[in-house]
Amino acid sequence: MTSSVLFAFLSSDPTLDRYAPALFRSGLAAPVGHPDSSAPWALGMAWTQQQRGLVRRQPRLASMSPDIAALLVDTPGRSALGGLFRHGPSAASETSPPYRSRDWVFVAHPDERSDEDRDRREAATAPPGLLAQREGNARTERRFLTVVRALREVRRTGQPETVHRNLLEGLARAMQLLPSAEKGDATADDDAPPLDVLLTDGEVLLAHAHRRPIHWKLQKGLHERDLPAVDGLSLDRVGNRPRYRAVALQQGCDHAPGWSSIRPGQSILVTREADVLVHDPQTGPSPG
């Protein structure tokens, strides 16, 4: 079974932002203690104070190097970098591109094509007007539109003091809106997406597990000595002791030390301050 990784840098030093892609490319093991640095592909999100030198005023899909394609999004007061980081010859055919809707960036694996029966079932259960917004024919895009619609409503109507709990509950509710055909048959577990849903608006990182656990690890207060070696990157130019926080979400590290997990059906939210909330359908949100 392929090991799949999502990881994020939460930088407290704006001058470090432009190096986020290089840090991602440098390897999966050093920043978050990933147990298998030979993973053939990874999904990555970088959160920063300001993506100076990377983000233009208009969102764009950019190819930064042969092994990274990133969707750069700049919104008032916050920025997000979402990308697919390829680490193997077959990775390009096994992964889906990131999707964007204003301030939300969404990625999922894999990009599963639709069929007529599934389209009919989905049309009967989708919120009114949702399918009219589609631009393609991928199941990933339908998930994206369903989830982002719910989360944007939470942002619009929710109270600031409970917004994180509300976003996590909103994601869980949105996943319930997806037709049963979207969730798959338990007998087809070998073909289940390793990381079904991942998205960010630059303020929070959200993920939901369908049938396989998602394992997560969080590190805070990393210093220069903990950063991975990156060709052509001089840390002296970005401060003597840059500090940042790192979080990883992974499928396939059951016995790795230091990792926690969410079970199938659960959702997870990580904030810029590295606070973690986990939503269980039976008990609701609780600290991770």
Q: Is the pLDDT of residue 74 over 70?
A: no
Order across the sheet with 78-86: list the strands.
60-65, 68-75, 78-86, 41-48, 4-11, 244-251, 214-222, 260-262
Q: Read off the CATH number of the domain in which 170 is found.
A: 3.60.20
> One-letter amino acid identity for 201?
D
Provide mean pLDDT across the span 94-105: 58
Which of the pair, 148 or 274, is modelled with greater confidence? Answer: 148
Given the structure tokens 């339908």, which residue do they identify? 142
Instruction: Give the contacts of 125 (CB within 8 A, at least 6 positions apart).
Output: 177, 178, 179
Q: Is the pLDDT of residue 278 over 90?
A: yes
pLDDT in tens, 267-276: 999 876 678 8
Q: Is the pLDDT of residue 262 over 80?
A: yes
Q: How confident is the model at residue 88 (pLDDT cuts 50, 70, 90)?
A: very low
Residues 51 and 236: their CA atoms lie apart, in Å, by: 19
Instruction: Give the contacts of 216 (CB within 8 A, at least 6 positions apart).
Output: 247, 248, 249, 250, 259, 260, 261, 262, 268, 270, 276, 288
Q: HSE, CB side, 13 Å, CA atoms: give it for residue 130.
A: 21
Q: Is the pLDDT of residue 23 over 60?
A: no
Given the structure tokens 């470090």, which residue do they identify? 16
Indicate the number of domains in the chain.
Answer: 1
Q: Is the pLDDT of residue 210 over 70?
A: yes
Distances (CA, A) of 209 to 9, 27, 183, 264: 21, 25, 10, 5
Q: Is the pLDDT of residue 2 over 50?
A: no
Which of the pair, 175 or 74, is modelled with greater confidence? Answer: 175
pLDDT in tens, 115-139: 555 555 555 555 555 555 555 555 6
pLDDT (0 to 100) of residue 126: 53
Q: How confident is the model at residue 249 (pLDDT cuts 50, 70, 90)?
A: low
Which of the pair, 59 or 217, is modelled with greater confidence? Answer: 217
Provide mean pLDDT across the span 157-182: 78
pTM of the model: 0.64
**Which residue range is the domain that position 273 belongs to?**
4-287
Q: How confident is the model at residue 145 (pLDDT cuts 50, 70, 90)?
A: confident
pLDDT in tens, 46-68: 433 333 333 322 333 333 333 33
